[in-house]
Amino acid sequence: MKLPLQLSERRALLIFVDFAMASFAVLFALWVWALRAGRPFTWAYIISQVEWLLFLPVLWLLLAALNDFYNLRLASRLGSNGVALLRITALLLLIYLVIYFFSPPRSLPRGIVLYHAVSSFVLVGLWRAAYALLLGQPIFQRRATVVGAGWAGRTIVQAIRESLASGYQLVGYIDDDPAKQGQTIEGVPVIGTRHDLVPLAKAERISEVILAITHNVHRELLQALMGCQELGVRITLMPLLYEEITGKVPVEHIGDSWPVALPMDHASTGSFFSVFKRAVDVIISLIGLAILAILFPFVALAIYVDSPGPIFYIQERVGKGGRTFRAFKFRSMILGAEESGKAIWAGERDARVTRVGRFLRATHIDELPQFINIFRGEMSVVGPRPERPEFVAELEKRIPFYRLRHAVRPGMAGWALVQYGYGSSVEDALVKLQYDLYYIKHQSIYLDFLILLKTIGGMLSFRGR
């Protein structure tokens, strides 16, 4: 008997059991708390403390998502699980200590969160160890064959090997090229042509066929794929599986699959999400402008003393619909940083950045003036980072689908930024585009919230550049 779990099922299983373990940890913490206080541990007592059963597991899941705890690559590795679990536990204690410090004296208990942190660390740790050891067994793995041993096929095999080796058994490639028959590519053999697909699916007990070809599907291959579906085999397009594994759209491998792989009908084309997102932008921008007003005298003085000159740096950027706007930032570079008049990519440890500028960039304080752009509707709090017109003109010529970034408002925080970081070349721009297209296609209130949390984490850890 085999139980080949899909990626979404594995992720749902992790979330469900994690939540259950975090909830059991609350019950254990309440039991210890009652025991130490000499109270009976009854249903009436549990119901009287129900707010802890709601608050702590939800907070725990939120911190887990923030720490990529549902990244399947991380979930399959014991060491990575342990490190992430330590971070989640430490953050849980830190957040409660902050809440406790600002609460009225004796209004909150001191011990319950400590009991919960310890017990949740043990319970979730044991569960995640069991997951890593058991879910990698053949009974739970998906036996898959990849149709197409070209560039797209090799790319998806690499992605599976790097991120989901415990979830898949790659049986082999199907490819019609006679020169590839019998070869081993990326550690996976080429085992037949389209004529062999259905017999192989039966003989090898295939549970998934990954279609990794970028041209029109041959009529006979289409018949073979339908034959596999009749056997209960799942047919998966390579771009969609790559998206699910990596969190980015493989623009170089889309080919004829572009209607399903690109964000043609995304959330921003609807009315509710657009109105809600704009309302949130206005509220957050007003809060940001208040913070800007408080910090402005100190930041302005520091910038001027370190490098006399303008306090603000105003630059043309490309926004929604390809329209340009003037983006505001605190100046973090020396005067005349681009004396040649030619736009230059900002690199890591860029010599043009001033001493104060390095601090402003590390903490993202240099971007606070962009709340003006958000309030004016030129930017959003979350979205693809806006690029300079000079770079956009170059990138549109060299990177397919680059213009799709302009389907939404650019943002201060973005999926590409939290997943990949800053870029300083055309190659980096290609990778960031893949993340940006994923964001546009999958944007939601939850994803925006997650990006904001990750951005705040980056600010607190001085990971700006």
Tens digit of each residue's pLDDT (9 = 90 or more) over 44-85? 888 888 888 888 999 999 999 888 898 888 888 888 888 999
- The contacts of residue 84 (CB under 8 Å, 6+ apart) are 64, 67, 68, 69, 74
More confident residue, 340 or 138: 138
Integer Rg of the chain from CA: 26
Distance CA 164, CA 126 (A): 21
More confident residue, 262 or 114: 114
Band of residue 379 on the pLDDT scale cut at 50, 70, 90:
very high
The amino acid occupying position 429 is A
pTM: 0.83
In percent, the amount of the chain with pLDDT more than 70 equals 93
Dihedral sign (CA 454, 456, 459, 465): positive
Distance CA 57, CA 4 (A): 29
Distance CA 77, CA 75 (A): 6
Looking at residue 302, its pLDDT comes to 92
Q: Which of 162, 225, 157, 156 is nearest to 197 (CA)?
A: 225
Tens digit of each residue's pLDDT (9 = 90 or more) over 417-464? 888 887 767 788 888 989 999 999 899 888 999 999 888 877 766 555
- Output phi, psi for 186, to 5 deg: 55, 35
Alpha helices in 135-262 (DSSP H): 151-163, 197-203, 219-230, 238-246, 258-261
| Residue 356 token pair | 């104060």
Looking at residue 1, its pLDDT comes to 47
Residue with tokens 């999926």: 415
More confident residue, 292 or 36: 292
Question: Rounded to the nearest 10 degrees, how much is the dihedral formed by the CA atoms of 325, 329, 331, 332?
Answer: -120
Q: How many helices (H) and strands (E) does the chain have?
A: 18, 10
Distance CA 108, CA 114 (A): 13
Tens digit of each residue's pLDDT (9 = 90 or more) over 149-198? 999 999 999 999 988 878 899 999 999 999 999 899 999 999 999 999 99
Domain boundaries, the chain: 7-134, 141-261, 268-335+345-460
Mean pLDDT across the chain: 87
* 349 pLDDT higher than 70: no
Helices 238-246, 151-163: inter-axial angle, 10-degree rounding:
30
Alpha helices in 344-442 (DSSP H): 355-362, 370-375, 389-398, 415-419, 426-442
Distance CA 241, CA 380 (A): 29
Band of residue 348 on the pLDDT scale cut at 50, 70, 90:
low
Say which CATH superfamily domain 141-261 falls into: NAD(P)-binding Rossmann-like Domain (3.40.50.720)
Tens digit of each residue's pLDDT (9 = 90 or more) over 122-158? 999 999 999 988 887 888 888 999 999 999 999 999 9
* 120 pLDDT higher than 80: yes
Looking at residue 173, its pLDDT comes to 95
Distance CA 345, CA 325 (A): 19
